[in-house]
Structure 1
Amino acid sequence: MHPSRAHLDRRQWLTLAVGALGWPTQALSQTTAKIDGVDVATTTFVRGKKLVLNGAGVRRRGYYKSNIVALYLPERLTTLEAIMKLDGPRRIQMLLLRDFSQSTVSRIFLADFKQAATDSEFKALINEVAEIGAIYNNVKRVEQGDKVNIDWQPGAGIIASLNDRQLNDKPINSELAYQIYLRMFMGPNVPEELRNRLLGLGNG
């Protein structure tokens, strides 16, 4: 054995082997993307279906950064219209950058949801809004570093989780409600930079 290679560990040997095959060695470590210094997974699974990171960006509330928002889809798409028509699971993930109380989270959700929905949609979804409110009532507090997933699972509905702990026992079976969730992060009232990042369009 060459003396300079006598102490190579398994990972180094694997890197050398992959390089010798002509494969990009960076692929070994590209399982996350850095968004504002936070690691965001480039793939995830919803009900056994692999989803890819469509885009991610920072959500601001006034002068402060509240969370990283990431969108996962079965395939990458660049328009909200195409995402809404997608036949498959979807995931909105929020990685918290600061602490929030239960009352603050509930207030933010209700304000954002009502802004993203039309008056008729909001009235039609009043029961679903109450169900979502009950989910937030189960969360006493969220803290910096927490992970919130809002999933759409075809055949089931909306399922929310906090740090991979499911929050609602019964899925909320309303695709319209989930579409409004999507508008909350990519609709016309959302800052252009965040909207474009979630759509994979860069800085905007």
Structure 2
Amino acid sequence: MQHDEPGSLSRRQWLAWSAAVASGMLIMPPAHANVMLEDVVLEESVVAHGQKLVLNGAGVRRRGYHKSDVVALYLPEKRTTPDAIYRLDGVRRIQLNLLRNLTSSTITRVFLSDFKQVATDEEFRQLIEPLGMIGAAYADIKRVRKGDVVNLDWVPGKGWMATHNGRPLRSVDGILAINDPLAYQVYLRMYLGAAASAELRNGLLGLTRLEKVE
């Protein structure tokens, strides 16, 4: 009697498996698919600060006639309304995939303008110190180029942290970590609030279908 080697398929098992594949009885698991927007490939899930996050959605942010970046939102679990995202616990990530070259002075000016537009006067006064830290961190970048990736994360217990092409952004006191929940909540409003374009907001809320790629 012929004995199969451990871990190998017998001829009978192999024939049965082949027949099942041919007849469509054996369903193979689908290949992992990412998504693509403006030729930027986005992972459907990432691990950030030890926590697995899923892609909630993505959209294009525009400045006038120009497309500035592809914005992706990663959350511990998917949500379809801004309020649900604001209340969500755990790590949250806004990822910026740059579509244009920009200087740090332009980044800082645009950021402050957008932030002030979505914050109340009282909130803006409360956040002067965090805004100064963010300005110093952006000055540390000097310049961003098309294809660069900036991750802006909220990490419970540490605060608002950021990386540019994997390099942590730094403030005057070291690696940027702004432990101010209000600062990050206002920042999220820039993308999910009423001032954001419907195209961007709907994309980040997962209401826009994205192209699948392997």
Same fold (TM over 0.5): yes
- SS state at 1:68 partner: strand
Task: Give, as a single letter, the amino acid of the residue that structure 2 aligns with 1:43.
Answer: S
- In structure 2, the partner of 1:79 is 81
Deviation at 1:40, TM superposition (A): 1.1
- In structure 1, the partner of 2:8 is none
What pairs up with 1:30-45 in 2 under 5 angstroms? 30=33, 32-45=34-47
What pairs up with 1:161-172 in 2 under 5 angstroms? 161-168=163-170, 169-172=175-178
The CA deviation string for residues 101-124 of structure 1, in whole angstroms up to 9 with x for no partner, is 111101111001111111100000
- SS state at 1:115 partner: helix
Structure 2 distance, partners of 1:72, 1:149, is 10
Task: Give, as a single letter, the amino acid of the residue that structure 1 aligns with 2:130.
Answer: E
Deviation at 1:20, TM superposition (A): 6.9
- In structure 2, the partner of 1:197 is 203
- In structure 2, the partner of 1:22 is 27
- SS state at 2:90 partner: coil
Does the alignment pair 1:55 with 2:57?
yes
- Deviating above 3 A after TM superposition, structure 1's stretches of 4 or more consecutive aligned residues are none
What pairs up with 1:167-178 in 2 under 5 angstroms? 167-168=169-170, 169-178=175-184
Q: Find the partner of 1:97 among 99, 109, 120.
A: 99
Asked if structure 1 preserves the Cα contact closer than 8 Å seen for 2:137 and 2:176, the reply is no
Deviation at 1:21, TM superposition (A): 3.9
- SS state at 1:130 partner: helix
Alignment coverage as a number of residue pairs: 184
Deviation at 1:29, TM superposition (A): 4.0
Structure 1 distance, partners of 2:38, 2:60, is 7
Structure 1 distance, partners of 2:86, 2:121, is 20
Structure 1 distance, partners of 2:194, 2:28, is 41
Asked if structure 2 preserves the Cα contact closer than 8 Å seen for 1:46 and 1:153, the reply is no
- SS state at 1:138 partner: helix
- SS state at 1:189 partner: coil
Structure of higher RCO (CA pairs closer than 8 Å, 6+ residues apart): 2
- In structure 2, the partner of 1:186 is 192
- Larger radius of gyration between Structure 1 and Structure 2: 2
- Quick one: percent identity of the two aligned structures? 53
What is the TM-score normalised by the length of structure 1? Answer: 0.86
- In structure 1, the partner of 2:71 is 69
Deviation at 1:177, TM superposition (A): 0.6
- SS state at 1:105 partner: helix
- In structure 2, the partner of 1:12 is none
Structure 2 distance, partners of 1:176, 1:40, is 28
Structure 1: state its 5+ residue gaps. 1-15
Deviation at 1:23, TM superposition (A): 2.9
Task: Give, as a single letter, the amino acid of the residue that structure 2 aligns with 1:188.
Answer: A
Deviation at 1:193, TM superposition (A): 1.2
- In structure 2, the partner of 1:3 is none
Task: Tell me which moved more, 185-194 or 144-153.
Answer: 185-194
Root-mean-square deviation over aligned CA pairs: 1.6
Deviation at 1:144, TM superposition (A): 0.2
